[in-house]
């Protein structure tokens, strides 16, 4: 989706949103700037939220600072809702629930997060959709937006995301990334005020985990 104020992007797994160590050349921001330039679109890269490099799925990107500011102010409110699909190892203790555990950066790491009493409040709502091949497909909704929130909370529940090298067990033979997908975005358009809904289906590499096969 694209209009004069924003763009809806389907970010592939393995693509970083911003330049950083190990991924300076090819990023979502770089691709969008090249796209704007090739079509002489007067826009800049103004991300409203971010996804980890390994996470696939729906993002909304503002084309100008005013739209970005309005959308960012609505993050974690009913006016901006995000839902994820994830495949975890094992199964949660209940069919649905809310993981309400504070998260902070681990003292011995620049990347890894951990559950800690003095961390920032974090709440992840989950619902079991399907169980198969020793794994569970979940739909998750975020009411806060901490770094690695879903990954940390599912590991704390004893059900790390399949393929999560940082909080679970890496298994390149099954999947080359943590099995997490930004499935749905719902928000109010920053200029027109109308309700926008972006949704993307479960990607093939995650679907294969539920059948025991490979994508």
Please list the active-site residues: 52
| Percent of the chain that is helix, strand, coil (3-state, to 5) | 15, 35, 50
Choose among 62, 31, 53: nearest CA to 147: 53
Helix or strand holding residue 85 (H, E) = strand 80-89
Question: How far apart are alpha carbons 198 and 215 in whole angstroms?
Answer: 24
Residues 6 or more apart whose CB falls under 8 angstroms from that of 13 comprise 53, 54, 55, 56, 176, 177, 203, 205
Burial code (b: 16+ CB inside 10 Å, e: under 16) for 124-142 equals bebebeeeeeebbbbbbeb
């Amino acid at each position: 989706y694209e209009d004069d104020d924003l763009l809806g992007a389907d970010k592939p797994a393995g693509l970083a949103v911003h330049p950083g160590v190990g991924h300076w050349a090819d990023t979502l921001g770089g691709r969008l700037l090249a796209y704007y330039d090739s079509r002489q679109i007067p826009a800049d890269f103004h991300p409203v939220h971010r996804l980890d490099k390994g996470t696939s799925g729906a993002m909304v990107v503002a084309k100008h600072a005013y739209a970005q500011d309005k959308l960012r102010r609505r993050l974690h409110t009913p006016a901006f809702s995000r839902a994820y699909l994830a495949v975890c190892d094992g199964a949660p203790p209940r069919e649905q629930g809310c993981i309400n555990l504070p998260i902070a950066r681990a003292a011995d790491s620049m990347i890894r997060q951990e559950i800690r009493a003095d961390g920032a409040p974090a709440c992840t709502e989950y619902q079991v959709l399907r169980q198969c091949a020793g794994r569970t497909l979940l739909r998750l909704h975020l009411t806060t937006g901490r770094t690695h929130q879903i990954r940390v909370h599912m590991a704390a529940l004893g059900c790390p995301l399949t393929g999560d090298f940082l909080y679970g067990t890496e298994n390149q033979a099954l999947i080359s990334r943590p099995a997490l997908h930004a499935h749905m975005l719902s928000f109010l358009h920053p200029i027109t005020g109308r309700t926008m809904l972006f949704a993307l289906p479960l990607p093939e590499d995650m679907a294969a985990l539920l059948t025991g096969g490979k994508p």
